[in-house]
Amino acid sequence: MYMKSYPLNDNQSRSAPTLFLISSYLVALFSFLLLSSCQSFQAPEFRNVDNIRLGKLGKNSSSILADVQYYNPNRTRLKLKSAKGEAWMDDVYLGRFEVDSLVEIPAMGNFSLPVKLDADMGKVLQHSLTALLSREVRIRIKGTARVGKSFFYINYPIEYEGAQKLDQLLNKK
């Protein structure tokens, strides 16, 4: 069977490249706006740890629950969908942490993250006496957080390392 092809008229031949060009410009503009807004983003500032409590107690591992306080220096409100990673105290591996609830982060304000740490109790107890005697510990945290606004979320790396005085860390003055 023979099929006959018909040439496109002038309006049809111009509309496809024009539509492609417009969509390319929109994608480029959106990418530029997205990248420029991400460059001015400042990482939240760690404040302290409140409300430390024992969740599930086990022989080898236990859940430690705490509220970690931060300050958001940015002029934009955000939402944190989830966060996970690992924690160390004075180079001793404590375990994996997780934040699995939606947290509203106010613009230029304080906020609290409900953190669950699944800790190796043998290492925690072994190191706790040394930490209490030194009065200062070095905390290291590494992980990722799912942060965004409206329908757009990104995986943001979490990296913190610093010396903390135990009385300030536990909010005792």
Query: Tokens at residue 145, please?
Result: 């957080």
Name the residue with tokens 């969908």. 81
Same domain membership, residue 48 and residue 36 = no
Average pLDDT of the residues in 11-23: 51
Q: Is-contact 144 85, C-beta < 8 A?
A: yes
3-state secondary structure of 43: coil
Residue 63 counted as domain residue: yes
Average pLDDT of the residues in 36-55: 74
Q: Is-contact 115 89, C-beta < 8 A?
A: no
Asked if residue 106 has pLDDT above 90, the reply is yes
Residue 66 counted as domain residue: yes
Find the CATH number of the domain harbouring 160.
2.60.40
Same domain membership, residue 51 and residue 35 = no
For the stretch 118-159, pLDDT in tens is 988 777 777 776 666 777 878 888 999 998 888 888 898 888
| Structural domain harbouring 86 | 43-169
Name the residue with tokens 């906020």. 111
What is the value of pTM for the model shown? 0.66
Same domain membership, residue 50 and residue 83 = yes
Radius of gyration from C-alpha coordinates of the chain: 25
What is the number of structural domains in the chain?
2
Residue 91 counted as domain residue: yes
Same domain membership, residue 62 and residue 106 = yes
Same domain membership, residue 100 and residue 23 = no
Asked if residue 173 has pLDDT above 50, the reply is no
Asked if residue 108 has pLDDT above 90, the reply is yes
Positive or negative CA dihedral for 42, 43, 46, 52? positive
Residue 7: the pLDDT is 54
Same domain membership, residue 88 and residue 22 = no
Same domain membership, residue 107 and residue 63 = yes
